A and B are shown apart, each in its own frame.
Chain A
Amino acid sequence: MQGPGVGWYLIVAALLFGTGALGIMLRRSPLIVLLSLEIMLNAANLTLIAFARQQGSLDGQIFALAVMAVAASEVAIGLGLIVAMARRGLALDVDEASALRG
């Protein structure tokens, strides 16, 4: 394998995951929270693919594809929720959506 070793890709994935986690915790717009979630899922995907390359086994890549499918479903549901919130005239703010708080 030419160029950087697998460890360098893992460092990029770790930084990306930290960025996404920060976005989820700091931002209050559900749209941005959803986008930050995508960043975290993609960081996990990068880790899976990096380890698939290191082990020389394709199982990690299959797992990454499954994660992609789950991420696509999650966006469909999340966007449906956001549209439903907007149609009911609720504020687009995750702190306001606290009806289920115990």
Chain B
Amino acid sequence: MGDVLVWIVWFVAAGACLGSGVAVVSSTNPFTSALSLIGNLASLAVLYLLLAAQFLAAAQVLVYAGAVMVMFLFVVAYLGGRADAPWAGGPPLLRAAAVVAAFALLVEVVVVLGLAWGDNLNEPAQVSESFGSPGEIGELFLTDHLLAFEITSIVLLIAAVGGVVLGTTRERRAD
């Protein structure tokens, strides 16, 4: 792929990513919001591919855009009209403070990036063809990061049990 073509793909993916992110935050309908997040996750998967993270891009689409968002859409459907999220925020002062805080966060990150821009930030290491492939990730998970892998499974199990416990209501006895 030519250099220009990669830039174009990056530009489209980054634009879609930011646009759908704004749509998620600004929509008053949680259904639209959740659908925008699926677009956001899909365009992020494209960025992952450009960064040579093939396995993560696939996992992103399967786990996030697939499983997690389907769960989310089921809850939105279950709640029905109650899920509507009007824009009524807190006091205007708090809202202004929130915008200032988010903007300050952004400025901080951009300043730090600008300071680091000169040092080989944009000269990434040479990587092999199989960098980020399922094979390499799997090998790392079963050698160097075995403990993290096992703990992840426990975290997921606890979360699944917790979700069921929270979702079931017990009938209260009268006495």
Residues of A at under 8 Å CB distance from B? 1-12, 14-23, 25-29, 31-32, 34-36, 38-39, 42, 45-46, 49-50, 52-59, 61-62, 64-66, 68-77, 79-84, 86-88, 92, 95
Contacts and interface: CB of A to CB of B under 8 A. Distances in A.
Given A5-B124, A18-B102, A75 B71 contact: yes
A57 B159 CA distance: 30
Nearest to B60: A68
A92 B71 CA distance: 18
B156 A49 contact: no
Which residue of A6, A64, A65, A87 has the most chain B CB atoms within 10 A of its CB atom? A65
Dominant SS among interface residues on chain A: helix
B33 A35 contact: yes
Contacts of B48: 46, 49
Chain B contact residues: over half helix, strand or loop, or mixed?
A: helix
30 contacts: A6-B51, A6-B121, A7-B113, A9-B47, A9-B50, A12-B14, A18-B102, A18-B103, A26-B25, A27-B85, A27-B89, A29-B85, A31-B33, A35-B34, A38-B68, A39-B40, A45-B44, A52-B51, A56-B126, A58-B132, A59-B145, A73-B155, A74-B159, A75-B68, A75-B71, A77-B163, A81-B166, A84-B166, A92-B82, A92-B85
